[in-house]
Each structure stands twice: as structure tokens, then as C-alpha cells.
Amino acid sequence: MGREGQPAAPASVPRHVGVIMDGNGRWAEARGLPRSAGHKAGIDALRRMVRASADLGIEYLSVYSFSTENWRRPRAEVSFLLDLLRRFIRQDVAELHAAGTRIKIIGAREDLEPSLVKMLDEAEKLTAENNKLTLVVAFNYGSKQELARAAKKLATEVAAGKLTPDQIDDAALERALDTDGIPPVDLLIRTGGEQRISNFMLWQCAYAEFVFLPVFWPDFDGAALQTAVDEFGARERRFGGLKAQTA
């Protein structure tokens, strides 16, 4: 079923698409530009992706913007990426809100500046009731760290007597993740040509279909999304069961 007030998208359209937006640096280097120019162009690609996803009827779009491991990059690049998130929130939230997009930011907030955290909180609050597309921005996100945080939450509840160890099952752990309430990833797209998950949504991608595209993220457009969605539609998902009977 589609979200409230919307017709359901065809079954071949994934409900939740995850994107590892990779290849910004190589895109820029190929043009003799600084890596920062690639990150900047990557924001335009993100805007195209959000629009194309909403047009296709995708309900959840999760984008990997900055990993917990990306702090290992030179300080100037890290600052640029932090600044870019700030600028994206400042410039795009009003338009996203007007288009009915709900914004959710996942990842560890404690390493971010309080003024940035405030902006993220406000963007989430402003758009909380929107019901067209949910845009999940993974920033300072690492799946292993998210799982460790979830384990800590559950352990704290057990220590407080609110939960017994027996009550810890996959549903309880899922509720303790940053993605609480968001369905699992159906289609995971990685641009840039690398074929790895780089600590993105390990739990949420348990049964995702993976599509790796050779295109650098700044070149990503609606046609590339359609290619990935077509590939997704051609896959047979079995979730551990058997091939669907045709006769």
C-alpha cells in the first residue's frame, strides 16, 4: 500500500532505496578540478535523485553523505563536507518541505557542532508530518557504530529493569536503531564503480538487492535511477523461500 493519500507504486518500484553516493572526487579529478568541486556537483545530483525518486513513487530514499570513516580525510575536505551539509539544509529544506518531503538525519550527532545539530533537529521537526518521500540523510553514520549504540540502549533498559534479556529479539534491536520505523532497504545503489558496502546499513540491507553502477555520483540522473530500478524489477527476491510458482 502507498502512503496515505497516494496510489501504491507498482510492485517493481522499490519502497526503500539506499544510495552510496560515491565517485565525487574522481569525477572532479577527471576534469582537473579540486575534489570539492565534485562534492558540490554531488549536491546537484542529490537534488535530481530526490525529485526522480518522488516521481517514481519511491517512499524512502536513504543517502550516504558522510561516513564515520570519512573523518580520516584531510581536514580541509572534512570541513568542506560539513559545510556542504549546512548549506544543503539552509538552501533546500524549504523546497523539500513544500514538496512534502520528510527529512530524517541518522548517524552520531555528538561529534558535530551544536549549531549544526540544531539545524538538523529543526529540519526534522519542520518536516516531521510530511508524507510524500522520506529522505534519510546518513551523516557521520557508520552501521557498526549504530548497532553498538542500539546494543547500549537495550543494555541500559535491561539495567533499569524495563526490559528482560529474553525480550531482546530482532524486532527490539530494530527499534533501537537510528532507522526505527523505516522499512528495510529494498534496493541499494552504489555509484563510482566500487562494489562494497563501506559500513552502510548492514542490518537494513539484509535482503536488499545490490546494483553497482560505473557512473560517478555527480553524473547520476533520472535515467541512471531508472536503470537501477529496472534491474531491481528483473531480480527474483526469495527471502530464503523458494522460487514463486508460475503454474
Cell of 24: 565525487
> Are the C-beta atoms of 12 and 231 separated by less than 8 Å?
no
Annotation says 111 is catalytic: no
Task: Work out how close the CB of 20 gets to ligand IPE at its nearest, in angstroms, rounded to a whole number.
Answer: 5
The set of long-range contacts for 69-77, using a CB threshold of 8 Å and a minimum separation of 24, is: 69/142, 69/198, 69/199, 71/111, 77/35, 77/36
| 50, 240 Cβ separation under 8 angstroms | no
Judged by beta carbon, residue 125 or residue 196, the one nearer ligand IPE is: 196
Q: What angle do CA 25, 31, 33 make, to 5 degrees?
A: 60
* Nearer CB in complex with Mg ion: 28/58: 28
Q: Site for Mg ion (CB under 5 A): how many residues?
A: 1
Residue 64 C-beta: closest distance to ligand IPE, Å: 4
Of the candidates 77, 236, 31, 51, the one whose C-alpha atom is nearest the C-alpha of residue 132 is 51
Please state, in angstroms and rounded to a whole number, the distance separating the CA atoms of residues 156 and 152. Answer: 6
If contact means CB under 5 to 8 A according to the sort of partner, which of Mg ion, ligand IPE, none does residue 145 touch? none
Between 57 and 107, whose beta carbon lies closer to ligand IPE? 107
215: phi then psi, degrees, rounded to nearest 5: -75, 140
Binding mask 14-33 for Mg ion (x = CB under 5 A): --------x-----------
- Taking the complex as a whole, the smallest distance from the CB of residue 23 to ligand IPE amounts, in Å, to 4
Q: Which H/E stretch holds residue 228?
A: helix 222-234
**From the candidates 22, 92, 178, 186, which is the catalytic residue?**
22
Residue list 46-85, contact with Mg ion (CB under 5 A): none
Count how many Cα atoms sit within 13 Å of the Cα of residue 233 in the half-sphere of its side chain.
Answer: 11
49 or 103: whose CB is closer to Mg ion? 49
* Minimum CB–partner distance for residue 157 and ligand IPE (Å): 31
- 130 catalytically annotated: no
Judged by the rule CB under 6 A, the positions of this chain that interact with ligand IPE are: 20-26, 64-67, 70, 81, 192, 194, 196, 198
Binding partner selected for residue 130 from Mg ion, ligand IPE, none, CB under the kind-specific 5 to 8 Å limit: none
Residue ranges in contact with Mg ion by CB under 5 A: 22
